[in-house]
Amino acid sequence: MDFRFSPEDEAFRQEVREFLQREWPQDEIGGAESPLGYGGGRGLEDIKALQKKLAQKGWLTMAWPKEYGGQGASIWRQVIYNEEMAYHRAPQQLGVGPDRVGPTIMIYGTEDQKAQFLPPIAKAEVIWCQGFSEPGAGSDLASLQTTAVLEGDYFVINGQKIWTSLAHVADWMILLARTDPDAPKHKGISYFLVDMKTTGITVRPLYDITGRHAFNQVFFDNVRVPKSHLVGELNRGWYVAAATLDFERSGINRVMAGIRSYEELVEYSKETRVGSRPLISLPNVRHKLAELKIEFEVGRMLAYRVASIQAAGRIPNQEASVSKLFGSELQQRLAAAGISILGLGGALRPGSKWAPLAGRIADYYLAAVATTIAAGTSEIMRNIIAIRGLGLPRG
C-alpha cells in the first residue's frame, strides 16, 4: 500500500511551512507548548491575529463545504494542515469552533443555525468553548445535573460546568443540560448553543498544574436561551454530543506535537556527552528513543485510520477512541522518557538559564498528566473500544 501524499498535497505542506516561518517564527516563542496549551509563550491577541490570517487563506475550515465558508478540501489536506500546525507549535484554532462545533451543526443543526453560526467560525470572528463536564459528571457524563426548563420561547438554564477551556475569552458555548429529569439519564439530555454574554453566566478561573489559565468553572443562574438554539431533538442531545466527542478525539495533533519534542530530545542526546561518549550511545537511552520512534509511527497511522474513515464520509467512533487512547498515553511515555534522559536538569522549567531544551520537557511532563483525562479518560476509551469495537458485553 502506498502511504505517500500526492505532489499537490506535498506542495501544500510546504506552503504551510513557509507561512509559519513568516507568521509564527519559533525563535520568538518563549517557554514551552504543552499538550493543553494554546500557543506557548504567545499572548491571546497574537493567537487571534494568526487565526484571522488562517481564515483569510481559507485554512481554518478548509475541509468544510464551500457553502458554509470552507474550501471543500479533502480530509487529507486538512490532516496535512493539522500536522504542520501541531509540529510547529502553532495553534491551528482557538476554541472548539472549527473542529467540533461547526461539524456538529452541519450534521444536526437547522438551516437557520447553519446560516447564523457557521460563517463567523470560518472567518475566525468568534471563540467557542465546550460546556459538558460538571463537578460530578466527567467520565460518567450522562450524570450531569445542569437543568434546562422550557418557559415560553426560552429554556431557563441552572447549574455548573467545570474544566471549561477558554470560557473566560469565549463568545459562545456548546452546552449539555438535562431537560427531562424523569427519563433514563442518556435520554433526557439536550444540546444547546449559549451566548456567553447572557445575563446569569459567571466564569471563574482554574489554574492547571503548569500555572496556566486555560480552564474555568462556569455557573448558570436562570440563564435564558432561545429555544431556537436547541441543536437536534429535545431530550436526544446525548447523540449530538457523541458526534462532538468523536470529532474531538480523532485529531492527529497530539501525535505531531509529541514528534517535535521527540526530535528535539534525539538531537539533545546526540549533542550531549557523558564523559567521552554521546548520550545517545548509552544503551538505555538509545533503546528508549528507538521504542518511542516506533510508537510515534504507530500513533500517526492510527490517526490516519480515523482520517480515512472521515474521508469515506463516515463518523469515526471506536477508531477515534483507539487513536485518542494511544496518543494521550504516548505523550506521557514521551514525557517520562524525556525527564529520565535529561536527568536532574530536566526538572527545570522555562525561564531557567540552566534548563535543557528551554524547559520544554519539564512543562510537557506536567501538562501530560491531564492528557489521559481530558477528552475522555483512558478507562472510558477502553470501555468504548471494548463495547463498540470488540462487541464485548457491558461489565
Which residues form the catalytic set?
Answer: 248
147 burial via Cβ count (<10 Å: 0-12, 13-18, 19+): middle
DSSP letter string over 206-246? Answer: EE-TTS-EEEEEEEEEEEEEEGGGEESSTTBHHHHHHHHHH
* Separation CA 105–CA 107 (nearest Å): 5
Distances in whole angstroms, Cα of residue 230 to Cα of each of 36, 56, 112, 140, 387: 29, 30, 12, 23, 30
* Separation CA 115–CA 123 (nearest Å): 13
Q: Say which residue the cell 467512533 belongs to.
A: 317
Distances in whole angstroms, Cα of residue 183 to Cα of each of 51, 159, 179: 42, 18, 9
339 burial via Cβ count (<10 Å: 0-12, 13-18, 19+): middle
DSSP letter string over 34-86? Answer: -TT-SSTT--HHHHHHHHHHHHHTT-TTTTS-GGGTS----HHHHHHHHHHHH
* Separation CA 62–CA 74 (nearest Å): 8
Strand locations in the chain, DSSP E?
128-131, 147-151, 154-161, 172-178, 189-195, 201-207, 213-226, 230-231, 273-274, 277-278
277 CB-near residues (< 8 Å, 6+ apart):
none
Q: Which grid cell is 210?
A: 503548569
Find out whether 306 and 320 touch, Cβ atoms under 8 Å. Answer: yes
* Separation CA 162–CA 218 (nearest Å): 6
SS3 content of the chain, % helix, strand, coil (to 5): 50, 15, 35
Q: How far apart are the first and last CA of the chain?
A: 38
Q: What 3-state DSSP class applies to 377?
A: coil
